[in-house]
Structure 1
Amino acid sequence: MLNRQNPRVSVVIPTLNEAANLRHVLPLLSHDYELVLVDGGSVDGTIDAAREIRGDIRIIKQTRKGKGNALACGFEAATGDIIVMFDADGSADAAEIPRFVEALIAGADFAKGSRFCEGGGSHDITPLRRAGNGGLHLVANTLFGTRFSDLCYGYNAFWRDLVPVLDLPVVDQPGSEGMMLWGDGFEIETIINCRFAEASVRIEEVPSVELARIYGQSNLRTFSDGFRVLRTLMTERVRARHIKRKSIVRPLRESIDARTDMDLEFEALESYNEVLELRERTA
């Protein structure tokens, strides 16, 4: 049973060649937190650096590729009452974690970080990315009836007992060589927002200031990532409609068949074609 008055916090940190950044980031995280580092095959000494800085850190190796799989592995390994999603590049301010925890203790199920609500901000986002994010969260709000002010931000926290609601790919499910399952990639943050919204959990936005990455270059690509988020929104909306229309009880995670990006895209295309056919018949 979760301790909702004095919860234990697990901080899940996906990494891929972040040794230099971890030397700045890990000392800022409280020793009261369980730290779960999920590594994607770093070759720069990330794991050694983490163990040197924090002897109590738990090291997990992700089972497939992608940030989504890394987070899913971390969610499964975490033992705390609250899970905090935390980037290793220095962009997340560790001092804000109590703010997320307070929102959850006050009654939220999902504390969603926002750079664009009052008190939030960013030292890293470009005007083009800001405009794109604004358009994307407008689409999300229209499709899911939400009031998000910031869709594409990965600093979030939620109660650990809600992990099954996310219905993520089973971590020990092998993917085809070189292929990730739906939810394994950078679409994970959008998927989490969509699935919590569809599940009607209590969502509260928490103001957060995004810091600049300390070392290295971001893997974000404005246009390709923007289209990926848009595709994710449409695909997740189709998924939600299918579940509602068929009144399907959410299955156990172990029973879910693995689906790839292509599978989900075909489902979205089939649904779109059904709409077109219906319009032609009624025209």
Structure 2
Amino acid sequence: MSAKPSLNDVSVVIPTRNEAKNLPYVLENLPDGLGEVILVDGNSVDDTVAVARELRPDIVVVHQSRRGKGNALAAGFAAATKTFIVMIDADGSMDPKEIHAFVAPLHRGVKYAKGSRFTSGGGSDDISRIRDLGNRFLNGTTNILFRTRFSDLCYGYNAFHRDCLAAFALPDPHDVSVAARWGDGFEIETLINVRVAKAKVSIAEVPSFESERIHGESNLRTFRDGTRVLATIMRERFSRTPVPVVPSAPVVVDLPDRSVAAVDRAEAV
């Protein structure tokens, strides 16, 4: 059996808002040897930050400046210092132990590792019939418009080489001159998936299993956020903004066929 890849060149970004009850599962199941763990707090009113620091004294805490998952992720990406970046939710629905599987293709030279619940080896205990139909429609629309072969457009468990940040072209996460920017919400996964495809970076899909959220309720709203995702697809398809150049981005897509403002670095003890 081949050795697992090193993780000392990996930053893990975890967006949070009132996830104190779920963080023990997420943080305690992170694999050993990670170079950096970044928690982005969205003005939690529970003990999210205190729990994170107690469980992991070396954690980097970033306080997001606007609202929304997209803004939280952008703030985390801006704070990340390692070569590879993994984005994972704080609700316990994604298995932190899968990080090795996401990093492996990056060490082989792939730029973007896309998590998929709908490729062989993946699955979900947390997707309703309505969400499944919506995902299939949005996924199919994207594949037609961008000539991609994604099997799971909207899943948020992904990893990438930091070179991909140029393709993401996300707005300044700490610009408070406006209340919100496009990409600040749940459309973030679609936005970055489409942009890496447009930039023709190398992509590999990684099978992933999604569990039910452990505690609390999701902030995702099926119809509201589905509409924003569709709008994102259309905006990106017909945008005249030049596609950013990603360094050393080979034109390879490895997808299966269908068979920082305030950054607090806690001192390590």
CA distance in 2, matches of 1:175, 1:158: 29
Aligned residue identity for 1:50: A
Alignment match, 1:22: 23
TM-score normalized with structure 2 length: 0.85
Query: Post-superposition shift, 1:41?
Result: 0.4
Give the Å deviation of 1:30. 2.4
1:129-148 equivalent positions in 2, closer than 5 A: 129-148=131-150
Indicate conservation of the 8 Å contact 1:175/1:181, yes or no.
no
Q: Sequence identity of aligned pairs in percent?
A: 56
Which of 34, 37, 41 does residue 35 from structure 1 map onto? 37
Q: Are the structure 2 counterparts of residues 221 and 23 from structure 1 closer, same or farther at C-alpha, using a change threshold of 3 Å? A: same
The one-letter code matched in structure 1 to 2:137 is G
Paired residue for 1:9? 10
Provide the secondary structure at the position in 1 that maps to 2:186.
coil
Give the counterpart letter for 2:53 in structure 1.
Answer: R
1:106 equivalent to 2:108? Answer yes
The answer as to whether partners of 1:10 and 1:82 remain within 8 angstroms in 2 is yes
CA distance 1:112–1:250, shift in 2 (3 Å): closer
Unaligned runs of 5+ in 1: 252-283
In the TM superposition, residue 249 of structure 1 has moved relative to its aligned partner by 7.2
Give the drift of 1:191. Answer: 0.3
The answer for the alignment partner of 2:208 in structure 1 is: 208
In structure 1, how many angstroms separate the alpha carbons of the residues matched to 2:101 and 2:129? 27
Q: What is the alpha-carbon distance in structure 1 between the residues aligned to residue 231 and residue 125 of structure 2?
A: 27
Deviation readout 1:146-203 (Å, 9 max, x if unpaired): 0001111000000012212211001232243xx3111111111110001000000011
TM-score (norm 1): 0.81
Alignment deviations for residues 91-140 of structure 1 (CA, whole Å, 9 cap, x no partner) = 11011110011111123110000000010000111122111101110000
The separation in 2 between residues aligned to 1:196 and 1:87, in whole angstroms, is 21
Larger Rg: 1
RCO greater where, 1 or 2, for CA within 8 Å and sep 6 or more?
Answer: 2
State the AA in 2 paired with 1:126: S
Aligned match of 1:71: 73
SS of the counterpart of 2:21? helix
1:1-283 to 2 correspondence within 5 Å?
Answer: 6=6, 8-33=9-34, 34-176=36-178, 179-239=179-239, 242-243=240-241, 248=242, 250=244
Q: Give the conservation status (yes or no) of the 8 Å contact 1:39–1:61.
A: yes
**Alpha-carbon distance in structure 2 between the residues aligned to 1:181 and 1:96:** 31
Q: Distance in 2 between matches of 1:142 and 1:101?
A: 28
In the alignment of these two chains, the number of paired residues is 239
Q: Which amino acid aligns with 2:174?
A: D
Q: Equivalents in 2 of 1:51, 1:6: separation in Å?
A: 24
Deviation at 1:214, TM superposition (A): 0.3
- Cα RMSD for the two superposed structures: 1.5
Structure 2: gaps of 5 or more residues:
246-269
| In 1, Cα distance between equivalents of 2:131 and 2:66 | 28
